[in-house]
Structure 1
Amino acid sequence: MISISITSIPSVLAANASNKIPFDDITNSYAQKEIIRLASLNILNGTGPRTFSPQKPVTRAEFTVMINRLLRLEAVDSAIAAFTDVRKNDWYYGWIQAGLNLGIVDGVRPGIFEPQKQISRQEVAALIVRATKMKAGSTSSSLPFVDSNKVASWAIPYVYTIHKNSIMSGEGNKFRPNDAMTRQETAVVLARILDSPFGVKVSKGQQTSVIQMGWQYDSTTTQFINQIESSNINTLVPRWFYLENNGVVSDNSNKELMTYASKHNKKIWAMLGNRSNSELTHTILSSSITRNKVIQQLTSYVKKYKLAGINVDFESVDPIDRDNLTAFISALSNELHKIGAVTSIDVSPDLGTDWTDGFDYAKLGKSADYVVLMSYDEHWSTSPKAGSVSSLPWVEKALNKLILSVPAKKVIVALPFYTRDWSYTSKGVVSDELSLLLQNQRISAMNAKLSWNNTTGQYVATYSKQGTKHSIWAEDSRSLSIKAHMAAKKGIAGYGYWYMGAESRDIWAALRNVVKYSAY
């Protein structure tokens, strides 16, 4: 086809055309309509002020950015870089990290992305199938193209699916799997996605409203408010109420936080704690009179301060108090429901040990409005073995077990904003608890070696200091996104975070992406 320059059009027509067409070099492109549409949506940009370069090949980085923009995701400035050839100051860094967090894109091999490499048609097929949540075929799927033998075995399921769903069709009965995707081809394919049922959901911006609760810890009210304003939190959990002797509930409420929450449409679920005092907890829970005394005080506080609910956090509950705890939550819920407030209770994963025997998960789930799964401390501070605070398979196993007893729509998954630095000494392992901020600083300062562990869904950082080996099972935007995305697929009510102020800010963009993408 002969290219016709826009300068050959009469001047008046050229002026009118330039008002309608954002690029001067797409007049003869078969994808002109799609290019204009996608440019108006800021999914595709030009290569110059009025240049699109329709026949120019698309790179892996460019296509990743395009698909992320189509999905309305945010770039994530991850604290831990996944690829050695994608630097933090590269314009596409945050987009590649965002796609990686959600399992949409991956490297060509561990630690390598090859961002400037031209993306092939079969790579595009794989990326689109993952991004749009299509169910991929199998490696034995039969392809209808004369060059099917050129499709890589790993790409067969994706090419089959992308063709079946009429997103990519090939040309002249050829798929051309190893050919580079041009910018005009990309425009056509992306427009087809937008017109698909999945694309319609994305265009409408469909997403669910989920609970995002954050605990206050070791911070002033001003600090806590600043932490909230930099986050996704819509439900504040200040640690205001504690069990005391004789059934008294101490009140550490703060008017400044109440005013802030009311003004900014945030809910407060004030926490009731027991300071891990199992003896005091038993004394109070074992007496119906004392239980009711506590409930009356809590109800009066909720009324007085116009709270949205109470978050019960009882640690070290003795197994003999299993029924007493259930009775307490049932009675508390009944009273709070009368005044329009909710009850949530924090529970540890069901380990089948004395540590968790105090929780009757099914009965607690019937009485409480929400059951908060504290999905951390897989390896605790004095664990005899080094390991993750919250590995993906451990969290998923715990969640799967809980939702057998409690409806998923009542479950909130609490994620850790901390980890542990394990040192290997001659006397055994010793751990040092780290906030994610401190974790990132230490990994950088010690020039730690990072490797991604697919099993735990985490980076493992290793370094040596004064001859002692150290390991950190890191928590970052990628590991937290994977756990949050897994939980979202099960239909949970939302997320909790222990604790506010311990996270790096990139976490919030990543988690917003999870909520948005999970809702499509």
Structure 2
Amino acid sequence: MKLPVRKKSRKWFYLLSLVAIIFGAGAVLYFSQFIPSNDHEAPTFNGNVKPVFYKGAMLDKPAEGKEEGLKLPFATVKELLDPTMIYEEASESTIITTQDKVIRLRTSQLTGMLNEKPFNLKFPLEKVEGALYLPMEPLKQLYSFELRESKDTGAVILVKEGDSIEWAKTAVYTDKPTKTIPMRTGPTIKSPILVDVSQEEEVMIWSEEQEWYKVQLTNGYQGYMKKDHLQQEHRKEIIPEQQTPPPFVPVKPINGKINLTWEQVVTKTPDATKFVPMPGLNVVSPTWFHLEDGQGNLKNIADPAYVKWAHSQNIQVWGLFSNGFEPKRTTEALATYDKRMKMIKQLLSFAQLYSLQGINIDFENVNVKDKEELVQFVREMVPLMHEQGLVVSIDVTPKSTNENWSLFYDRKALIESVDYMMLMAYDEHWASSPVAGSVASLPWVESSLTRMMKEDRIPASKLILSIPFYTRIWTEETVDDKVKVSSRAVFMENPQKVIKEKKLTPVFKSDVGQNYVEYKEGNKLNKIWIEDEVSIKARMDLVKKYGLAGVASWRRGYETPQVWSLIDDALK
């Protein structure tokens, strides 16, 4: 049976209509993705009334105040401008140290201290919701940075010297002068518009994502613009570096190399007029100043007569300041700015009183927890010493895993402040060492030297190799089937006397770079790794090989007279 023609055509009509509807809907969906969204979303700073931006990123804490009264959080300043800045909770003090300045700012006070001289602030440090805020106007005298503050939004854009900013201008449509360029929330035309930006307006470009740039307006608002909405020519702004004060140049000996010896003074300085000739010696460091208590009081046993002798010989005097090797006392004295400054002021007065040319810092046996406090002490000390023309040096041990002997030295941080660093390259085998050995074998000395230069970036021009004028006589004795080891320190001439008396023949040991002898006394075996002209020359060769600043010796009076000419010739 055949269907009527009308019913058949109606069926086809419905089918074609359905196809047309589906095709039309698909076409609408397809072409709608090319139609930009015109929805708008008001720009915000996530609730921050005065946001701070650096390199396009909004920082956690906002600013306070405005214009010359603008303040930034301490944490922001420390992170971005000066990692060495510290806040001392006990005295509510912010302490800033630069190459030539020590600044102390106290919370809520309008008087600060610059190199221990008062100066006035227009705006004080203050705490806002528990966070410390610093006034920026005085800090502009210390650091090279700009704060670009928007009068419209209050947003602050921080830029530092050396920073690079890529600027672009929005496109120009001469036939459509009122047309604006959309800055959107995301890198898609379907993202809402944050700001309708005028033509030929400058924006900062921080990143790119395919055909989009992430940009920021000078008022702080950020978003995305299509690349073809910006002019092709961009400009790069590089914040110029400001001139810094010339670095302190320590007064050097005539021959350019340091030849220093320490003068150990226990109670009374020896009569220098009775010393044997020491050709080439140009710096002496007498152990005159010692930390007496945890309050920062110093003991002074200096002798003006010794200084007079040294100056008559054209020898500089760098008074040694020791912590007495007392860790508890050191912890207490380094704990606060007031105590640290108390020590510094005493040293300054001593230097002036005795006409010293420098201070040598000898802090040993320090708790590793005081590592940062020691660095801070040196950072506060050096600008004030340099202000008086004084050379500042510090003694450090070779690197090791021993906390109180080595790990408490932040050598990399210390060298940024001091003029010289003395590597005390001795006591490889110390007085109570469980095994006998050299005080300072040549491979150990060289390894200690190069490790410090490489790992801590100590420049050769600031590094002085400290050498021993002593050795140890080791005694090995078998007691209850165990070898008992003991030692005693002796002057350089002592082994020579033993060799002569016992008719011994020294043997050169290439593995340590020294002459060696051993001899028996009953059931005891004595061993000596000899310090003599051979070992001294080998160390002087290291000074020359690595272009070091010079040599220091512990201590005067332990040596044989002939080593002075040897050192002098090597340094020349």
Q: TM-score range by the shorter chain?
A: 0.5 to 0.7
Which residue is equivalent to 1:317?
Answer: 366
8 Å contact 2:281–2:568 — kept in the other structure? no
Quote the Cα distance in structure 2 between the aligned partners of 1:304 and 1:225. 22
Which residue is equivalent to 1:238?
Answer: 286
Quote the Cα distance in structure 2 between the aligned partners of 1:315 and 1:435. 23
Quote the Cα distance in structure 2 between the aligned partners of 1:223 and 1:305. 17
Quote the Cα distance in structure 2 between the aligned partners of 1:272 and 1:439. 32
| Structure 1 residue 326 displacement after superposition | 0.5
The 5 A counterparts of 1:292-331 are: 292-331=341-380
Quote the Cα distance in structure 2 between the aligned partners of 1:209 and 1:486. 17
Quote the Cα distance in structure 2 between the aligned partners of 1:229 and 1:337. 32
Structure number with greater CO (CA < 8 Å, separation at least 6) is 1
Which of 377, 397, 403 does residue 348 from structure 1 map onto? 397
Quote the Cα distance in structure 1 between the aligned partners of 2:399 and 2:533. 26
8 Å contact 2:432–2:487 — kept in the other structure? yes
| Structure 1 residue 225 displacement after superposition | 4.6
Specify the SS of the correspondent of 2:407: coil
Which digits, 9 at most, give the CA deviation of each residue in 1:260-311, with x for residues without a partner?
1222221000000122111111110122211111011111111222210101
Which digits, 9 at most, give the CA deviation of each residue in 1:171-203, with x for residues without a partner?
xxxxxxxxxxxxxxxxxxxxxxxxxxxxxxxxx
1:393 aligns with 2:443: yes
Change in 2 beyond 3 A, CA 1:252/1:401: same
1:423 aligns with 2:475: yes
8 Å contact 2:264–2:287 — kept in the other structure? yes
Specify the SS of the correspondent of 1:481: helix
Quote the Cα distance in structure 1 between the aligned partners of 2:477 and 2:460. 42
8 Å contact 1:221–1:256 — kept in the other structure? no
1:211 aligns with 2:263: no
Specify the SS of the correspondent of 1:333: helix
| Structure 1 residue 437 displacement after superposition | 1.8
| Structure 1 residue 233 displacement after superposition | 1.6
Quote the Cα distance in structure 2 between the aligned partners of 1:507 and 1:261. 19
Quote the Cα distance in structure 1 between the aligned partners of 2:272 and 2:434. 34
Specify the SS of the correspondent of 2:256: coil
8 Å contact 1:396–1:487 — kept in the other structure? no
1:493 aligns with 2:543: no
1:463 aligns with 2:519: yes
Which of 452, 466, 470 does residue 414 from structure 1 map onto? 466
- What residue identity is the alignment partner of 2:449? L
Which of 486, 491, 503 does residue 559 from structure 2 map onto? 503
The 5 A counterparts of 1:12-91 are: none
Specify the SS of the correspondent of 2:506: strand
Quote the Cα distance in structure 1 between the aligned partners of 2:443 and 2:275. 30
| Structure 1 residue 446 displacement after superposition | 2.6
The 5 A counterparts of 1:114-513 are: 208-217=255-264, 221-227=269-275, 229-245=277-293, 246-354=295-403, 355-404=405-454, 405=456, 406-427=458-479, 428-513=484-569
8 Å contact 2:465–2:551 — kept in the other structure? yes
| Structure 1 residue 320 displacement after superposition | 0.6
List alignment gaps of at least 5 residues for structure 2.
1-253
Change in 2 beyond 3 A, CA 1:225/1:376: farther
Change in 2 beyond 3 A, CA 1:218/1:474: farther
Give the TM-score taking structure 1 as reference length: 0.58
- What residue identity is the alignment partner of 2:498? R
Which digits, 9 at most, give the CA deviation of each residue in 1:212-255, with x for residues without a partner?
11111258644445436334321011111000112111111101
Quote the Cα distance in structure 2 between the aligned partners of 1:467 and 1:448. 18
8 Å contact 2:396–2:409 — kept in the other structure? yes
| Structure 1 residue 208 displacement after superposition | 4.4
Quote the Cα distance in structure 2 between the aligned partners of 1:208 and 1:222. 27
Specify the SS of the correspondent of 2:406: coil
Quote the Cα distance in structure 2 between the aligned partners of 1:376 and 1:362. 21
- What residue identity is the alignment partner of 1:411? L
Bigger Cα Rg:
2
Quote the Cα distance in structure 2 between the aligned partners of 1:493 and 1:309. 16
Quote the Cα distance in structure 1 between the aligned partners of 2:275 and 2:424. 21
8 Å contact 1:449–1:462 — kept in the other structure? no
Specify the SS of the correspondent of 1:281: helix
List alignment gaps of at least 5 residues for structure 1.
1-206
Specify the SS of the correspondent of 2:559: coil
CA RMSD of aligned residues (A): 1.6
| Structure 1 residue 474 displacement after superposition | 0.3
Quote the Cα distance in structure 2 between the aligned partners of 1:294 and 1:288. 10
Which residue is equivalent to 1:12?
Answer: none
Specify the SS of the correspondent of 1:501: coil
Greater fraction helix: 1
Give the TM-score taking structure 2 as reference length: 0.53
| Structure 1 residue 447 displacement after superposition | 2.5
8 Å contact 2:441–2:512 — kept in the other structure? yes
- What residue identity is the alignment partner of 2:376? A
8 Å contact 1:224–1:501 — kept in the other structure? no
8 Å contact 2:550–2:571 — kept in the other structure? no
Quote the Cα distance in structure 2 between the aligned partners of 1:343 and 1:301. 14
Quote the Cα distance in structure 2 between the aligned partners of 1:363 and 1:462. 43
Quote the Cα distance in structure 1 between the aligned partners of 2:357 and 2:450. 28
- What residue identity is the alignment partner of 1:408? A
Change in 2 beyond 3 A, CA 1:231/1:278: farther
Quote the Cα distance in structure 2 between the aligned partners of 1:491 and 1:332. 28
Which residue is equivalent to 2:167?
Answer: none
Deviates more, 1:443-452 or 1:220-229: 220-229
Greater fraction strand: 2
Quote the Cα distance in structure 2 between the aligned partners of 1:288 and 1:261. 34
